[in-house]
Amino acid sequence: MKELNASLLLRPFNFDTLATYVFTFTSDEQLERAALPAIVLVLVGLLPVIWLTRSLISQSEKER
């Protein structure tokens, strides 16, 4: 999250991402408004991890 401040400064005008929504709401202590975007952000980040894990497992089983 160190680069988030740079992302906030360098982003185009009127362009918000899930990370900027979560950061904005949590810094204003509006945790209930930040909860859903934070969960979506985690789930979207989890999908490639699941896909890569399954790919690596199937690849290692083929080598046996």
- Which residue did the predictor score with more confidence, 7 or 12? 12
Average pLDDT, the chain: 87
Q: Is the pTM of this model over 0.75?
A: no
Average pLDDT score over residue span 46-51: 96
Q: Burial level of 23, CB count in 10 A (0-12/13-18/19+)?
A: buried
Average pLDDT score over residue span 34-43: 93
Neighbours of 16 (CB within 10 A): 13
Question: Residue 1: which pLDDT band, with cuts at 50, 70 and 90?
Answer: low
Question: Residue 46: which pLDDT band, with cuts at 50, 70 and 90?
Answer: very high
